[in-house]
Structure 1
Amino acid sequence: MAAKPNELEIVRVYDAPVKLVWEAFTDLKHQVNWWGPRGFTITTKSKDLRPGGKWIYTMHGPDGVDYPNIATYHEVVPYERLVYDHGGNEERQKLFTVTVTFKEELGKTIMVMLMALDTPEAAKEIKKFIKIANGNSTWDRLGEYLEHEITGKDPFIINRTFDAPQAKVFEMWTDVKHLSKWLPPKGFNMELISGDIKTGKTAFYSMSNGEFTMYGKSHYLDINPITRIMFTQEFADKDGNPAKHPGAPTWPSQMISTVEFATEGPNLTRVTLKTEVHGQATAEERKAFHDEKSGMMMGWTGSFDKLEELI
């Protein structure tokens, strides 16, 4: 069912059973590890998970600012449905009411979240605020936490929904004339030096801002039309030989990324990118990857903003 004009919808598919997703979403021993945008932590004063109960907590921003919150629960149906008011505290009323449903299919959990506001205008304003505050990274952090709980791995995950058909969004990732326009950091141009974006092929490319040039390679392990791309990445020198990150000597030598494309609604496509350290890596390199997740989020957000403009 499509969201109403006064509602915002978020859909996530987690590779985890519904029992674990529900517990991660509702149990404080889990929530403390992921709740809030990247860089945030939380402190709970009290939590009463039942209709009429409240969760009183404070979110601590990376800039040192505290954000008191009181969530009031209206419906609690274990493993299926949760309804609560969000964004209120002792000094202000709720910002919106959240309805979250959880459904397990083939071992994965589909989480659908509807945020209902008083008016369509209020919904538009909250949508802008959530983007500025990187609010949706909360649900990416949940995905990372769930994967760590199940596999012990430490991935970076980011999602974005684009207003375009799935085939079109997929094309923007696999046609270099499109990819080169949105993937590079702001102020950089991308050029394919050799290779191709095809299964089994390696793309050797450069990114330059006129004063500084860096080189990289992406080896495409699997390209499944309009649904999935898997590739490894590594930095290289101008001759295509393996090299370390030009600005971070402790960065892992190789990473592996999986990009999944899914239709989310009429003319809407959700892209889910997961990147992990690949191959042999030291503890120092793995820590560097973990500590730079906020930076990766900002980099990919900038690229996705450019992609959004193109399509």
Structure 2
Amino acid sequence: MASDEGFSDFFYAAPDGLKLHARIYGERNAGGWPVICLPGLTRNARDFHELALHLSSKVENPRKVIAFDYRGRGQSDYDPDIGHYNVGVEAGDVLAGMSALGVEQAAFVGTSRGGLIIHVLGALKPTVLKAIVLNDIGPVIEAEGLAHIRSYLDRAPKPKTFAEAVDAQRLVHSADFPALTDVDWARMVRAICRETAAGWVPDFDPALVDTLANVDFSKPLSDLWPQFEALAAVPLLAIRGANSKLLSVATFEEMGRRHPGMESVTVEGQGHAPFLETGDLPEKIAAFLDREEKQAK
């Protein structure tokens, strides 16, 4: 049963038995493609709360929306083997969640790491993909952007109060996100942190940071162009933050050349990754899904 916040919690077992979590919005909606939301490296299902509410209740064609917590994030169990914190295992976890929910196909919204998982799903089980929204991610990851992520994760502050947590996020990210309002910053903190007796802490397994320890940022990172090209027949909306350090303009433009049907949106005043609940992004995403589903019939 849905909570007063518009969603219900769903727990299921990963292929290796780990207990994982997802939020389900509009669980009784059955009229259109369901939407699966996949967050970034250290993020969780709360990132998609406002977008999920919009897609599940504030549009003419309300959809079921499923937002996943990967292992080690949010309400999912931490994995004692940090080697399992990789996109291949996480893609398998998503497929297990879909199976547990009886969802055979869906539209996917992937932010950052979530978009990489979509590339893997396209290789593992392409029939599950009805449409794709990639949020500030593509087949080429700029080493500078990933190094920036590791840098602020390594130096993450330990705020005692909510106000200190908001100030800490502003200090790190405000240069890339001048478009954000006070409300946006507060919502961000509530999405990525949890309150404990010690203060506001990031809501993920600290061991996740160790998965970036051996990356050589002086060399180009491996690309996923073959996997991206395999998605050519799937409708695609690609979103890029104008100030993104992770997804370059060159890669964004090349994605459009290799996927001629790709729709693209550049979000001014935001970096990696744009907040999908801001501006007219919810409306654009909903319209894209409605349009593509109508054409598929």
When normalised by structure 2's length, the TM-score is: 0.28
Higher RCO, 1 vs 2 (CA within 8 Å, ≥6 residues apart): 2
Which is greater in Rg? 1
Higher strand share: 1
Higher helix share: 2
